[in-house]
Each structure stands twice: as structure tokens, then as C-alpha cells.
Chains A and B, each alone.
Chain A
Amino acid sequence: MLNRVTNLTMNLAAQRTLQTQQAKLAELQDKATSLNKISRPSDDPAATAQALATRSLQAANAQYGRNIDDGNTWLTAADSALEQATNVMRRVKDLAVMAGNDALPQSGKDAIALELKSLNQDLVSIANSKHLGRNIFAGNSDADVSFSNTVPPTYNGTGISAVERRISATQTVRVDADGEEIFGNGAGSVFAAVQSIADTLTGGSAPGVAQLTKLDDGFKNIVNGRAEIGTRQAQLERAGNLNTEMEASLDAQRTGIEKADLGSVIMDLKLQETNYQVALAATAKVLQPTLMDFLR
């Protein structure tokens, strides 16, 4: 059927065209102001699923970043504690060597013994260092101190799990240090070794080889512990770098999924504005004349 055109059909068509053009314009304007490609799931269900997954990865990544920062403060605290311990041990070792000199009078031995005892106290207080109110060297124990103030000091964290921080979905890193491995426990501890040398000196004899070996072993354990902390710090640093890179790449990914390209949106908007104006002008021209305009 050949369509009969009347004023009403022309009006209807004009209204519909203007309405569609205006709807497109509004949609593009919304897109240009918010720059959101997806404002509702139905805009693109598949991309919505991706966006949700990316957002959840981002949130997890941000939390891993915070965990890494927190872990770093722990390791730094442990490192500085062990640095002090190393310094103390160095002095202890000097004194032990000095005490080995047979020519040393008893008064000298007494003085060295006194200094060794006070250094030993320093060492115990270093081993009891805390970070944010928690023992660095006693794992997840909530004991007041890592090493009880007995003679020789006993370790309070035996058999208790380590403090760990999650740095990625698959990885956790230990951020404390094992006090028992580094300082030993009870009679086998480095504190006992220092104490025994001091006691020997007070008793008037020079420290024996076995005692010095024990001291050396204790020193070695502290240095080893510090080295291990260093490797874990390096691991955290790598994880931190990865985390930052991941943050940037996830951000780029999400922007790609959710955000519209400004240039193309602006171009589309301009084009649509022109389209709309053309539609308005054409409508104004078409709707004006009727036969009445031409009859007398």
C-alpha cells in the first residue's frame, strides 16, 4: 500500500525523529559528563562482570599494599633491634678476648665481668624489644616479654606460630624473627653464655675455649638472623614494587573497561548536536506550508 501522507503522519514522524535524536543527544551528554561506558549492568553485561572482577582485584591489591607497608615496619624494627644486638655482641666479644689475657689482675677481671653483666642486661632488653606493643621475637604469643627475666632468661614463644603478613593472593611473608633461633633458650642461650663468662671471671679464671665457642655461636646466630630479616625485607620490597605496578595496571584495566574515550565521546556528541539541529531545521521547514498558504 502506498502510504498516504497527511499533516498528522508528518507531525508524528517529526515528533518521533526529534525524540530519537534528542534521546541520543541526552545519552551522549550523560556519557560525556560522566565518561562512564557502563552505568548499569545491562549496558554491557560481560564488561560488567569484568569490571566487578577488576574492582575486587584492586581492593585486594590495595589491602596487600597496606599489609606490605605494615610488614615493612615490623621487619625494620626487628632489623634495628638485631643491629643493636650485634653491636652489643661485638663489645662482648672484645671484652671476652681481653679477659683471656692471663696478665689481667683480678680487679680488671671484675671490671670486665661487671661490664659483661650489664651488656647481658642490654642484650635481654634488646631481645624483648616491642613493635607497636607487640614482642618482635615471640611470634604470636601475647606474653609480656619475649624472654622472662630469670637467670638464665627463658623464651616464651616456644611452639607458637610466627607473625605473617599476606602480600599477595598466594604468598605470605614472616615479618617477625624467631627469638629462640637467634638468642637461644635457657641454658643454651647467648645470655647464658655471656653470663657464664662473667661468672668465670668473677671466680678468678680466664674464660675457656668452650665458653668462647658458645659465645661465637651465639654471635653467629644473631648475625644469621639479621641476614634472614634482610632477605625478607628484600622480598617485601619486590612484592611492594609488584604491588605498585599491579595497582597501575589494574587501574588502567578498569578504566579501559568502565570509562569511555573522551575524544570519541566528544566527537560523537558534536556530531549528534549537529544531527539534532539539522533535524530541527528540517522539521521547521516541512511543517509550515499547507495549501492554505497558497490560496487567496
Chain B
Amino acid sequence: MSESIMPIAVLFASIFTSNILLTNYLGMCSFLSVSKELKTSTGLGIAVIFVMATTTPLNWLVYQYLLIPFGLEYLRFIVFIIVIAAFVQLTEMTIERYSEGLYQSLGIFLPLITVNCAILGVSLFMVIREYTFLTSFLFGLGSGIGWFIAIIAMAGIRQKLKNAKVPAGLEGPGITLVIAGFMAMAFMGFTGMITLS
């Protein structure tokens, strides 16, 4: 399967046609809670790109060279989570070291990256779709960029929305989901350009 898809096509497909957030609903929790502010969203988005682009090929190596030779494929959930958690810790320390302000504004959300479904999801998709090393890197990178674009767009829209009158019951998560629905429809416009599965 992996031979038939060009690696670069995977990159674009994971950004547009198979956006991890808008077509697979992954990473919704942090998406809904963080997208209130553009600045925080940018920070988290970049962190997600970094973590996805690094953990996916890393998990690929672990899966191919550790889990398969020892017949431990069923342990992949636990192993992937550990790799991801270690990397998130690294990201957290890096941000804390270089950008005090960003660290403050991201606050409790950085540890939440570990339980961000999208990160683990990308690694699991990578296993199921039998990607090569290069393809998994591009897939991770593309999915991160896709998530970034989605949260930035959402944060921009939500800032404008502050001045709008929204029915009381729809305020907050409700209206965010409606917008996400429209965004998903907009992204469906890319369907057919490249297909992934």
C-alpha cells in the first residue's frame, strides 16, 4: 500500500483532504478549550506540529525495530504513549527555557498534549497504513500542520465572534462545534484531489 502513495502526496493529503481534526475528530478536547485565543492557539499549534513530526517517525523506528522483531505488537499502545510522554516533557522544558511568556500562557495545556488524541492517533494510523519511515515523518508533519491551520482559523473566527449575539445555549462549545462543522465542509472541498486510506 505504501508504495502506491507518493510521500509528498501524503504530506498534502494529511493537511487538507484528511485533516486529522476535521475528518477524524482527533484532538477535539484541547481544540475546544484552547481556541479562545489566537496567541495561545499559535503556541499550542506549533507544539503539536513539533511533537507530531518527531514522535511519528520515532514511533515508527520503535515499532519496526523493537516491537515487530520481538512479536510485541500488542504492546504498541503503551509504548507509543511512553515515547510521546517523554517528548512532550522535552517540549515543555524547551518552551520553559526559551519563552517564559508562552510557558505562562500555555500553562496546564502542555501536559495535556500527552493525552491529545491526535498525537497518538497519528502514530496508530501510521501503523495501520503501513507507511515507510519518510512517509511517516511527512504524515506526522502534515497532520501537525493541518491541526495548526484548523486551530488558528478557529481562534480567529472565535475572536470575531465575541461581538456577535449567540443564543445562550449555544455559547462556548456549541457554537465552536457548529463552526468546526462548517470548516469541515469547507475542507471537504479538497476531497478528490488526493485520497488517503
Say whether A and B bind each other: no
Residues of A at the B interface (CB closer than 8 Å) are none
Residues of B at the A interface (CB closer than 8 Å) are none
